[in-house]
Structure 1
Amino acid sequence: MDDGLIWILAGLGLVMAEIVVPGVFLLWIGLAAIGTGLVTLALAPSFAVKVVVFLALLAAGIAVALRLRRRQRPAVRVNTPEAGLVGRLGTVTERTAAGARVHLGDSDWAARIAGEAEVGDTVRVDGVDGTVLVVSRVGR
């Protein structure tokens, strides 16, 4: 069997394995192997050139994958400052020795109050610590 066909069949096997066991890494190896097989069929290069072509195609595939991954922004999580909680105003609904609860938007949040604030006071979100809002009283 010709070396080029072996490369192509191995590459197709890896691409098929990617379909069965998704993880994206077998795809790039398979595509690099298929490309190496096509180059081998067209040019009949030496073994060293085949290895260099395979590694170059694999590196190009990884670079493409990283660029595509960078474009896909993860969904904004609720408890991150980027979600727009910092700076918003809420109302203290409960104050106990164990902590406080703040009504913000349509939700009640566990809160840690910096300074003094009582039930009914308006507070501003200064930060987020996990799922606990760090708030401080506004005005007065």
Structure 2
Amino acid sequence: MEPGLIWILGGLLLLAAELALPGIFLLWVGLAAIGTGFFVLAAVPGLGATALVFLLLLGGGIALALRLKRPRRSAQVNTPAAGLVGRHGMLLPMDGPELRVRLGDSDWPARLPQDVRVPEAPMRVRVEGVDGTVLVVRPV
């Protein structure tokens, strides 16, 4: 049997095993084996060149996988901070022990940074952060 076809068959078997086994490593080994098989079919290299091509393809695939896996810095979705930080609202008069801020049509519990004293309500404030469901606000 042709050596290139053996490489391709081995790579296909590794890709099939990837479907049955957890993890993602066999994917890159299988793709590197298929690529090596096509190289062996196109140019009849020696054993050293074949091994070098396989290792280069495997290393390139793993490097690509690590680059694609790297976490990207993006806005957090579905968190209170995602849409509230930077918005302006009104500090409501205190009805109980906690401060409340009206943002749009919602009232939120709020607190001020430690360096700010409690201002007279109503006052315009800016949301600087979110601590759980409590907004950290500063007078504008």
Larger-gyration structure (1/2): 2
- TM-score normalized with structure 2 length: 0.65
Cα separation, partners in 2 of 1:10 and 1:73, compared to 1, 3 Å: farther
Q: C-alpha deviations, 1:90-132, integer Å up to 9, x for none?
A: 23456755x5443334555443322214664432112344554
Deviation string, structure 1 residues 55-75 (Cα, Å, up to 9, x no partner) = 2112332344455557x7756
Alignment of 1:67-78 (within 5 A): 68=68, 76-78=76-78
1:34 maps to a residue whose letter is I
The residue matched to 1:126 in structure 2 has which SS?
A: strand
Change in Cα spacing, 1:104 to 1:20, as seen in structure 2 (3 Å) is farther
What CA distance in whole angstroms lies between the structure 2 residues aligned with 1:130 and 1:14?
47
Greater strand fraction, Structure 1 or Structure 2: 1
- What's 2:84 paired with? 85
CA shift in 2, pair 1:95/1:65, >3 Å? farther
- Please identify, of 4-13 and 28-37, the stretch whose mean Cα deviation from structure 2 is larger: 4-13
CA contact (8 A) 1:7 1:37 kept: yes
1: distance between equivalents of 2:12 and 2:119?
66
1:101/1:37 Cα in 2 relative to 1: closer, same or farther (>3 Å)? farther
Deviation at 1:32, TM superposition (A): 1.0
Secondary structure at the counterpart of residue 59 of structure 1:
helix
Change (3 A) 1:90 1:23: farther
Uncovered stretches (5+) of structure 2, i.e. residues with no partner: none
Q: 1:14 to 1:96 in 2, by over 3 A?
A: farther
> Where does the alignment leave 5 or more consecutive residues of structure 1 unmatched?
none
Q: 1:126 aligns with which of 117, 120, 128?
A: 128
Distance 1:46 1:89, change over 3 A: same
2-side partners of 1:107 and 1:58: how far apart?
54
Q: Which residue of 1 aligns with 2:10?
A: 10
CA contact (8 A) 1:32 1:54 kept: yes
Aligned-pair Cα RMSD in Å: 3.7
AA aligned opposite 1:137: P
1:19-50, Cα deviation, whole Å (9 max, x unpaired): 45575543332211100112223333233222
TM-score, normalising length: structure 1: 0.65
Equivalent residues of 1:79, 1:130 under 8 A apart = no
The match for 1:38 is 38
